[in-house]
Every structure is written in structure tokens, then in C-alpha cells.
């Protein structure tokens, strides 16, 4: 009797530790409890702790065994809760439909046998919603889960189900409605209404997923502080594997750990390479993948950017039919000059995602490239129109930039005069939305549109794109930019930028430029012609890899202490 009291105390202490987020202590308590007496509760507690200690496979195994013990002890409600949890993990973390569906049927029959299933009926609806795609039928299942959650006063369920409904509604195209759900759920999550911290973590992941879906950091921004604090207080276990944190910007402060995809968009390709490499290894070894991205798809995209096409092909071999890899596979097709195959692949994926139109925006955008490469202008125009329609639905800055880029490329191909303004607007839009890589692509297209009418400006824009692409390590596209500059008869790459590259005369000229002198004044001062002064200035710009006199002065300010005495340009 005394012994079982102690067992109970250990179980309570374990549960308390879980609530506090002290996973190691929880593990110790449940371990002691299990050693004292092999109960379903102890086993289940061990499974829950292990999940947070970032061994989800071990957690699934333990809780699977706990399920059998609960059944054996005749505790069907507890068993059903575990079965629902297992179904959700298999669907959400492992994308394993067979296992997920198997646990879902176990859960369904148990829940239906209960006299009073209470919140479990809602959790079951949520798990059923998550077993399906991000579409309206799934939104309706999540909606019924919300009703149950409110009826039962289950705050955890309400938060997760609202988030699920939000993600489904947004990807089906009802953006405002979805975002309103999302705000509601986030208020509940951040105000501490929830009980189990796992579900707050899940809500945050869905938040980032929706933000990524819409390409709108504004979705995440209001909760940024909370995200960062939460990330600092808890490791997120398998939701966000590899727990390195470096708070450089809003999103990566939260999920640096898994979001190689974030780095792809923000152009930090070296960081993306490291994270995605880890994620792919983990996917291959354990089947586990981060919730918000497909590491293989993103690594293929990265390899294509780097011009490492062979490696991209090898990576893709086992994932060719995965819809989430369609866009990256199309990138590879385009790089290998197979536009027809890219177009078919993209059209197939778009067809499969009919019920979640927002997810198809980037596929339509790539279809514009494929159609243009294949010389099919009407198809390119139609695809650009689809991008525009979807961008109108979401209204986010990133999607508007994609709309302008698509329309601009079509205008460029047909020689229309509005190409330049569309492409400039795209380049600026991408840059403002924090997406420098697509900004570079748009800028290079902008340079192409300017080539016929304003060669000088075309060179400036193409050089800007080239420098940025080189810096990001997007080798293949940088080579394309350099080739275009050579077509224009301009030098592409410049060497390392140090003042040491300048001749003594050029140093002298740079000092005078920094004092705000014009070429004529420099000529007078140095007893050379205005034209020669001008030659020195252009040579300085080329050697330093800067784009204008003002930038050269800024460079001088940082690197030539003697010349930096003036603030003028």
C-alpha cells in the first residue's frame, strides 16, 4: 500500500515535470516509477518525455506499448487518447499514411465504444482532418473538432484545431477567414490558456507553415517575441529537430533548426546547405521530417542553384513522384533543358492540388518559365494569369512580386514595352519581401529588358544581380548573369574588393571623389583631362565592385581613413 502511494507520487512528479517543460526530470521520475512497478502510466510518461528529448521514434514505440497495456488494464479512454496521438504523429511527423490510418481506425473504434468520449471525439476529428490534404473537407473536420473543444472546455484541442482550420482555409483560398482563426488560436496559445506545451509548439509550427504558404512574414510578426521566448524556454523536440539557435531574424530565430527552406528564400545558401543536408540524412535514417518543408525538395532546389545537377538527380531519384518535390524536379528539368517534361510535371502537380489553389502559386510561376523555354507563349500567358489570380486572393507582397515577375517575363518575351516596369516592380517587391534570391532573378530579367534601350543601366542592374548571386553561392545563375554581361560587352566578375587593388593614382582619385569633387574638378586638381579623371573613376568602381560614385565614397569611408574626412558624396 505504501509502495503504491510512492508509485503514484512518482507519476505525479513526472507529470508535473512534463508540465514545467523539464523533460529530463520527467524521464527520471517515470523511469523510477516503471522500475517500482511496470504500469501503463509509467510507460506512457516515458514515451511523452522521450518525445521531447528528441527521440520521436523511441517515443512512438513506448507509447505504442503503453497503448497495449492500457487496453489490457481495461482503460479504453486512455488507450484511445494514445492511439489518436500516435495517428497524428505518424501523419504529421513521418507522413506515414499506412501507420497513421491504422492507428486512426483503432482510435475510431475505441472512441465509438466509450460511453462518454468527452474531448476524445474532438481529438479524433482533428486527427482525421490531419490525415487529409489542406483542403475544405479537412477544414470542416477541424471545424467540428473546434465545436467539441469549446463544448468540453478543452483549450489544447481548441488551439490546435483552430490552427488546422486556419491552414486548410488559407490554402483553399479563403485567406481572411483563415487568418482570423489563426489570430484567435494564437491569442489562446500565447495567453497560456493551453495546458500541454506540445500543442503550443504545434500551433507555432502551423503559424510558420501558414506564413510560408502565404510568403508573408507579417503573419508571423505579431507573435515574434513569443516565438523567440518560447524557443528559448523549450527545445521543440522533434517538431524542430537540430536545436541550434542564432537569432538573426524573426523566423530563423525560431526555427533555424529545421528551416533550410528559410535560408533558401533569404539567400543564405551556405546555411541552407548545412541544415538541409542534416534534414535529408535524418529523413533517410529515421523517416522523420520537419513539418514545414520537404528537405529533399529544398536540397534539390539548392543543388540546381549551385549547378550541381548530377547530385540533384541522384537525390531526386526516390522522390520523383512526390508532389511536394514537383517544383524542384521542374527546376532540374529546366536546368537540363527539358522544358516539356518540366511543364508536364508541373501541370500534373497543379491538377493534384486543385482543392488547395494557394499551394499551386509557385507551380504556376515555374510553369511560366517552362512554357517560355518551350516557346509556348499562349501557355506562358495563361500561367502568368493564374499567378495573378492567386496573388489577388492572398494579396501578400511576395505573391504580388511573383505576379509582376511572371507578367514581366511574358512581356519581355513578347517584346512589350511594359516589361521593364513590371520587372522593376518585381525586383523591388521581392527585395522588400525579404526574398533576395528571386529579387536577383527579377533584376537579371530587368537588365535583359533594358538591354535594347539603355545599355548602361542594363549593365548596372546585371552587375548588381551578378554580385548578389555570387555572394549567395548561386553559381549556375551567376554564370548566366556573367554571360549576359559579356553579351553586353561588359566585364562581369570583379576580383576581391580591397583598396589594395587600386593604383596610387586611383587611391588619390578616390580620395578626391570622397571629397565630393566632380571629374572636371579632379582633372584640374591633378592636371589631367576630365576624360582621364573619368577613366580613373570607372576603373575604381570596377575594381572595388561598387556600382556608383556614392558607393565608392562609402567604401572609402570604411577603408581609407585618410580620405574619410568628409561626409559628402
Q: Contact positions toward other proteins, by CB under 8 A?
A: 249, 420-421, 424, 427-428, 431-432, 434, 436, 439, 443, 450, 453-454, 456-457, 459-461, 464, 467-468, 471, 497, 516-519, 530, 534, 544-555, 557-558, 567-569
Please state the separation of Cα 212 from the chain's center in Å.
5
* Residues 6+ away with beta carbon under 8 Å from 563: 507, 510, 511, 514, 515, 556, 557
Q: State the minimum distance, in angstroms, from the CB of residue 64 to other proteins.
A: 46
**Nearer to other proteins by C-beta: 36 or 431?**
431
Q: At its nearest, how many Å lie between other proteins and the CB of residue 565?
A: 10
The terminus-to-terminus CA distance of the chain in angstroms comes to: 86
Closest CA to 368 of 293, 257, 445, 434: 445
- Tell me whether residue 414 or residue 548 sits nearer to other proteins (CB atom): 548
CB of 190 to other proteins, least distance (A): 24
Closer to other proteins by CB, 126 or 442: give it: 442
**3-class SS letters over 167-204:** HHHHHCCCHHHHHHHHHHHHHHHHCCCCCCHHHHHHHH
For 263-397, strand residue ranges (E) read: none
Tell me how long the chain is.
569
State how far the alpha carbon of 232 is from the alpha carbons of 159, 229, 254, 515, in Å: 21, 5, 9, 48
| Alpha-carbon 281 to chain mean position | 19
In the bound state with other proteins, the residue whose beta carbon lies nearer, of 409 and 424, is 424
Q: Measured from the CB of residue 548, what is the shortest distance to other proteins in angstroms?
A: 4
Instruction: State which residue, 5 or 558, has the beta carbon closest to other proteins.
Output: 558
CA-to-CA distance for 539 and 542, rounded, in angstroms?
Answer: 5
CB of 504 to other proteins, least distance (A): 21
Place of cell 508540465: 19
Give the list of residues 6+ apart from residue 14 with CB closer than 8 angstroms, or none.
26, 29, 30, 33, 42, 45, 49
Q: Which is nearer to other proteins, 35 or 471 (CB)?
A: 471
Whole-number minimum distance, CB 54 to other proteins, in Å?
Answer: 31
Q: In 37-174, where does DSSP find H-type helix? A: 40-52, 56-72, 76-92, 97-113, 120-130, 136-152, 155-171
Cβ 228 to other proteins shortest distance, Å? 15
By three-state DSSP, how is residue 518 classified?
coil
Which lies closer to other proteins via its Cβ, residue 235 or residue 519? Answer: 519
Q: Shortest approach of other proteins to residue 217 CB, angstroms?
A: 11
Other Cβ atoms closer than 10 A to 115: 6
Report in angstroms how near the CB of residue 206 gets to other proteins at its nearest.
Answer: 26
With beta carbons less than 8 A apart as the criterion, state whether 33 and 41 touch.
yes
Q: How far is CA 339 from CA 79, 333, 373, 386, in A?
A: 52, 6, 6, 19
Provide the minimum distance between the beta carbon of 99 and other proteins in the complex, in angstroms, as a whole number.
43
Judged by CB, which is closer to other proteins: 165, or 409? 409
CB nearer to other proteins: pick between 526 and 554? 554
Rounded to whole angstroms, the Cα distance separating 210 from 217 reads: 10
Q: Which is nearer to other proteins, 305 or 440 (CB)?
A: 440
Q: Which DSSP category does 547 fall into?
A: S
* Residue 15 or 428 with smaller CB distance to other proteins: 428
CB of residue 446 to other proteins, shortest distance in Å: 9
Amino acid at each position: 500500500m505504501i509502495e503504491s502511494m510512492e508509485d503514484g507520487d512518482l507519476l505525479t512528479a513526472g507529470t508535473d515535470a512534463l508540465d514545467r517543460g523539464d523533460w529530463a526530470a520527467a524521464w527520471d521520475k517515470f523511469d523510477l516509477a516503471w522500475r517500482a512497478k511496470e504500469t501503463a502510466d509509467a510507460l506512457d510518461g516515458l514515451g511523452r518525455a522521450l518525445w521531447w528529448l528528441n527521440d520521436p521514434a523511441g517515443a512512438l514505440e513506448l507509447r505504442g506499448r503503453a497503448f497495449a497495456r492500457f487496453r489490457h488494464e481495461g482503460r479504453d479512454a486512455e488507450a484511445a487518447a494514445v492511439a489518436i496521438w500516435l495517428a497524428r504523429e505518424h501523419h504529421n511527423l513521418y507522413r506515414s499514411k499506412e501507420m497513421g490510418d491504422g492507428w486512426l481506425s483503432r482510435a475510431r473504434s475505441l472512441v465509438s465504444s466509450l460511453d462518454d468520449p468527452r474531448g476524445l471525439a474532438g481529438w479524433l476529428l482533428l486527427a482525421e482532418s490531419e490525415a487529409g490534404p489542406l483542403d475544405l473537407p479537412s477544414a470542416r473536420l477541424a471545424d467540428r473538432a473546434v465545436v467539441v473543444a469549446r463544448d468540453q472546455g478543452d483549450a489544447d484541442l481548441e488551439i490546435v484545431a483552430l490552427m488546422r482550420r486556419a491552414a486548410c482555409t488559407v490554402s483553399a483560398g479563403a485567406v481572411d477567414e483563415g487568418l482570423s482563426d489563426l489570430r484567435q488560436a494564437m491569442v489562446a496559445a500565447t495567453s497560456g490558456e493551453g495546458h500541454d506545451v506540445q500543442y503550443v509548439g504545434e500551433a507555432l509550427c502551423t503559424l510558420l507553415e501558414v506564413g510560408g504558404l502565404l510568403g508573408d512574414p507579417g503573419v508571423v510578426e505579431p507573435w515574434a517575441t513569443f516565438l523567440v521566448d518560447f524557443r528559448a524556454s523549450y527545445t521543440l523536440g522533434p517538431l524542430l529537430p537540430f536545436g541550434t539557435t542564432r537569432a538573426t531574424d524573426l523566423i530563423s530565430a525560431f526555427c533555424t533548426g529545421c528551416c533550410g527552406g528559410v535560408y533558401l528564400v533569404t539567400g543564405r545558401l551556405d546555411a541552407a546547405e548545412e541544415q538541409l543536408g542534416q534534414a535529408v540524412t535524418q529523413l533517410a535514417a529515421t523517416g522523420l521530417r520537419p513539418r514545414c518543408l520537404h528537405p529533399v525538395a529544398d536540397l534539390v532546389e539548392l543543388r540546381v542553384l549551385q549547378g550541381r545537377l548530377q547530385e540533384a538527380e541522384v537525390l531526386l531519384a526516390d522522390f520523383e513522384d512526390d508532389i511536394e518535390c514537383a517544383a524542384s524536379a521542374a527546376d532540374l528539368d529546366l536546368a537540363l533543358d527539358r522544358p516539356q517534361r518540366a511543364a508536364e510535371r508541373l501541370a500534373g502537380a497543379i491538377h493534384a492540388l486543385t482543392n488547395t489553389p494557394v499551394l499551386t502559386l509557385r507551380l504556376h510561376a515555374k510553369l511560366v518559365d517552362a512554357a517560355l523555354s518551350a516557346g509556348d507563349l499562349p501557355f506562358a500567358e495563361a500561367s502568368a494569369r493564374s499567378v495573378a489570380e492567386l496573388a489577388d486572393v492572398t494579396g501578400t507582397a511576395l505573391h504580388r512580386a511573383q505576379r509582376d515577375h511572371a507578367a514581366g517575363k511574358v512581356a519581355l518575351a513578347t517584346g512589350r514595352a511594359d516589361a521593364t516596369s513590371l520587372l522593376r516592380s518585381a525586383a523591388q517587391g521581392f527585395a522588400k519581401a525579404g526574398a533576395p534570391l528571386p529579387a536577383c532573378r527579377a533584376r537579371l530579367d530587368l537588365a535583359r529588358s533594358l538591354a535594347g534601350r539603355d545599355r548602361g543601366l542594363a549593365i548596372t542592374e546585371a552587375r548588381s544581380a551578378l554580385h548578389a548571386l555570387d555572394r549567395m553561392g548561386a553559381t549556375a545563375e551567376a554564370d548566366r548573369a556573367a554571360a549576359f554581361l559579356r553579351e553586353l560587352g561588359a566585364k562581369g566578375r570583379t576580383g576581391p574588393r580591397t583598396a589594395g587593388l587600386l593604383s596610387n593614382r586611383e587611391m588619390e582619385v578616390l580620395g578626391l571623389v570622397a571629397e565630393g569633387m566632380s571629374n572636371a574638378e579632379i582633372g584640374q586638381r591633378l592636371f589631367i583631362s576630365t576624360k582621364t579623371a573619368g577613366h580613373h573613376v570607372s576603373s575604381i568602381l570596377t575594381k572595388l565592385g561598387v556600382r556608383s560614385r556614392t558607393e565608392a565614397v562609402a567604401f572609402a569611408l570604411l577603408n581609407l581613413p585618410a580620405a574619410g574626412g568628409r561626409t559628402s558624396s
